[in-house]
Chains A and B, each alone.
Chain A
């Protein structure tokens, strides 16, 4: 990665992390389009998840439903997505070049 890419990535990561940290404070509490439709047309729109998530609804269980907890959860999520997407990119790229290097 050259200096220009590093600068771009740093800037991009900072923007993503700022959005992530602020999201719980700025986001509307209103249900989103699908939830809102469900509440209006379904007699019982509440469903149970099949598998309980470690940080359900962007909260950290030990911190309860606090906005700071949500910020931390969002921060962690953003870092994990960043790493995962970067990793997927690198892995798929390596597989492409392997056959050429082997011969």
Chain B
């Protein structure tokens, strides 16, 4: 879902850059306030894992492929959408700067879609659905995070005059509805793996109870 250079015209990509820079400021505030020292290894390992798995395109029908984004995973594990913004920004900046995956002019839009929309959708949907069961909530939230990021991307491409609205929405929506199944599966597996191996770093029973845990 990495937008290359040339898909968004100049004044529009500046808008996404501004939104993203403001979000990055808040995500750094999150880290200063809530990123506990013992969580730094988890943060770094998740960033490395998400970078690697984003390159593993899995075939879906229609001669298309898709990869995981990981924003919902980070937002749920760290109980904050800002964690996803910060981590995805690191991954996307590296991908854009070193590997040409996503254009540098479009980097603001890419962080906006995958980090901000992905992270906020994942976080708030998990929070809303949690009482219905934690694993189904993780699955639905992570599926929706990539689906809505793709819908946002299609709308941006329409505003940019790059894609027609209806076709863009249909294709991006359909492809990412399927890719979302991959996202949901991997997110559930990784969340359960962290909960089982390191319940001190993440467990559902303490989810969102930041202040009490932070002082320890």
Contacts and interface: CB of A to CB of B under 8 A. Distances in A.
A63 interface: no
Interface residues of B, number: 71
Q: Which of B6, B28, B48, B198 has the most CB of A within 10 A?
A: B48
A37 B163 contact: yes
A100 interface: no
Given A28-B57, A56-B99, A80 B94 contact: yes
B41 A9 contact: yes
Contact of B63 (A36, A51, A79, A83): A36
A23 interface: yes
Contact of B65 (A4, A30, A38): A30
Sorting the interface of chain A by its residue count into under 10, 10 to 19, 20 to 34 or 35 or more gives: 35 or more
Interface of A: 1, 4-5, 8-9, 11-13, 15-17, 19-20, 22-24, 26-34, 36-38, 40-42, 47-58, 73-74, 77-86, 88-90, 92-93, 95-96
Nearest to A44: B6
Prevailing SS type, chain B contact patch? helix
Contact of B5 (A22, A47, A81): A47
A16 B5 CA distance: 28
A85 B59 CA distance: 29
Interface in B31-82: 31-33, 35, 37-49, 51-53, 55-59, 62-67
Nearest to A42: B162
B27 to A, nearest CB: 10
Contacts of B150: 33-34
Given A28-B58, A90-B40, A57 B49 contact: no
